[in-house]
Chains A and B, each alone.
Chain A
Amino acid sequence: MRYFWNTAVKTITRALPVYLPPALLMAAGFAVVYVLFSGVFSYRDHIKQSIGAVDLSDVVVTASFSGSADGAMNSPRIKGLYTPGPEAILTPEDLEYIGEAFAGRIRLRYIFGFVQGTITNYITPDYLDLIGNFAPEGDDWLLCGRDEIESIRALLLLAPNDEIGFARSFPFDYDEERGVFTPIGGGNEITVYAIEDVDFSGVDLSHLDGNAYDDRFPDRPYRHMVFIPIKHYFDVYRPTDRWYRQDRQMQVSAADPQALSDLFIYLNTAHQGEVLYSGKSHIAEYLQKINEEMRMLAVIAPVTVLVSVIILINFMGLQMLSVKRRKYALAVQMACGAPRASVLGGLLAASAITMLASAVLALGLGYAYLARFKPMLAEAAMTARAEAAAILFGAALLAAVLANLPALVRAARMSPAEILTEQ
């Protein structure tokens, strides 16, 4: 074994004039590969970081009505025949399309609305989770404050034909005989949960209610909220209903920013600008930017790989030249009784050592370049990357193996005498 390495090193050091020029060329090429990949990885990390700044499970999509708030009132609701207009926040068609086209990519959770008097802009996911946990069985539930449900019931009893506009906006009917809420047009009972029964410990309510922890204000705004499952929501909500215009939010979780961005595009197109859909705090814009960067990366990365492959192929050619010269030595070694495996291994080892030495040199060159110039690629500061180094060494080894493969395959089949007569 010792003699094996002894031979491999001797082969390189003695044939330095043969090995050095290609090794130096390789180092230069490898340095380019290293710098390019460092750039790609830096850029990718920059994008990752940007995305990391957005908690995609926490995106609340806000729809804002762009028409006149005092526009035409909807025609009175005829029980059971209600169909949402194009201005509904989500039409049944929307839900169907989203279900098909975005299956697995986004998840709509709850629609939050019906806050009388209070504008609530922030609702945290844990809060919504709480509701979900509270009413996990399907969508036939209603969660609201006790006082609120009483007044809703009273309103529905009082004005079933929508004299004051409320009944039109509410997604359920009240069945006076059974004393329960039902879907519009009747049906199974909608279970009503009282918000007072929800265990809010562990939930930061200050998002919801600025005075949540102030005992001087015992009347909590969230007691006036009504939570309705998304399935029922499209059925009723219309932006022209002045009462509840303020808070129309879907909680959406998405696996990737592209899905969210696509959703915005879809919704905004489908509703033809009547309603503007966007993420909170310019999230849509931000995600859009990330998307553009990802698209750019998708262009840069293959180009980098291509350039690297071209460089590698050229090196393999150089390597093959020296391999050809060494086939004679292989045969002589075998004639002296070297086991075939040892001879072929030695060929690979010598080649791999040269390639790796070039890669080390390239690493130094590339690192120095990056340190000296710190070029900027878009907004991502380009820095030396361990992954790029790993690719560099991987490519060097791969090139060493590939360059030797034809010689190895031939030598593995031929007898020493055949190789020697071939020279």
Chain B
Amino acid sequence: MIELSGITKIYRNKNLEFQALRGVSLTIGEGEFVTVMGRSGCGKSTLLTVLGLMSRFDDGAYLLRGQAVKDMPSREICRMRNRHVGFVFQSYNLINEYSALENIEMPLGYAGVGGAARRRRAKELLETVGLSDKARNTPLQLSGGQQQRVAIARALANRPSLLLADEPTGNLDTGSGQEIMSLFKTLNEQGATILLVTHDPLVASYGNRILHMTDGLIEEE
């Protein structure tokens, strides 16, 4: 599913440079549930955005489903991101003007799914995350845990083969956090490949494989 070798990423801001990834190599197979642990600032989010095709990397090679990402044209990157990657953010990143249903419809819309089919699929997903009765609520009318479940439903919309989650429970109380984690567990059991990033050992323990990250490098456990 994912093959990384020697990935580096340097943030460049005017005259400041910071190397956030120092040569990450990593292979993740289909159906794995991998959790990455590490202190704040060690480069977890950076790694995840690279994996999720949300930012570019500098050196190294990244194969996603056997395809080299480095020289992929930007249209193709958008397409891959849309079809094959589901991304769950710590801060949900829902659009507040849209209802829960409309937020879930977004990736479907960009995939060219027509109106009726789009709504049908979005409702199905809401049911999966247990929020059927909140279809018309806007994010601000939902609790944090509910918002994150909508975000997960959105990430799942196009049945991506890879689900990436960046501290999905970071903003949630323990109860809601556990609900979200069991949702991930279920999704993994249904066949989803998941890479989840956290600084919480309890959350990390949900994974089948736990990786540690320090200063932009991965070390397997």
Using a CB–CB cutoff of 8 Å, the interface residues on chain A facing chain B are 2-3, 6-7, 10-11, 14-15, 329, 331-340, 342, 415-418, 420
Contact = CB atoms under 8 A, between A and B. Distances in A.
Given A332-B95, A336-B82, A336-B154, A7 B56 contact: no
Interface string B52-79: 1011100000000000000000110011
A10 B94 CA distance: 15
Nearest to B107: A336
Given A339-B75, A340-B74, A415-B56, A420 B115 contact: no
Contact of A10 (B54, B102, B107, B110): B102
A11 B98 CA distance: 9
Contact of B54 (A6, A14, A333, A416): A416
B55 A336 contact: no
Contacts of B56: 415
Contacts of A15: 97
Contact of B106 (A336, A415, A420): A336
Contacts of B143: none
A415 B78 contact: no
Contacts, number: 71
A228 B78 CA distance: 83
A339 B78 contact: yes
Contacts of A3: 109-110, 112
Contacts of A6: 109, 115
Contacts of B95: 329, 332
Given A332-B93, A336-B81, 10 more contacts: A10-B98, A10-B102, A335-B54, A335-B81, A336-B110, A337-B81, A339-B78, A340-B74, A415-B49, A420-B93
B54 A415 contact: yes
B111 interface: yes
B87 interface: yes
In the A-B complex, the 10 residue pairs with the closest CB atoms: A337-B82, A14-B97, A3-B109, A417-B49, A417-B55, A417-B54, A415-B55, A336-B107, A338-B110, A337-B81
B85 to A, nearest CB: 8
B83 interface: yes
17 contacts: A6-B109, A10-B98, A335-B52, A335-B81, A335-B87, A335-B93, A336-B81, A337-B78, A337-B83, A337-B85, A338-B106, A339-B78, A340-B74, A415-B49, A416-B54, A416-B55, A417-B54
Nearest to A15: B97
A342 B85 CA distance: 19
Contacts of B55: 415-418
Nearest to B106: A336
A13 to B, nearest CB: 9
B79 to A, nearest CB: 7
A417 to B, nearest CB: 4
B98 A342 contact: no
Contact of A334 (B78, B112, B114): B78
Nearest to B108: A3
Contacts of B79: 337, 339
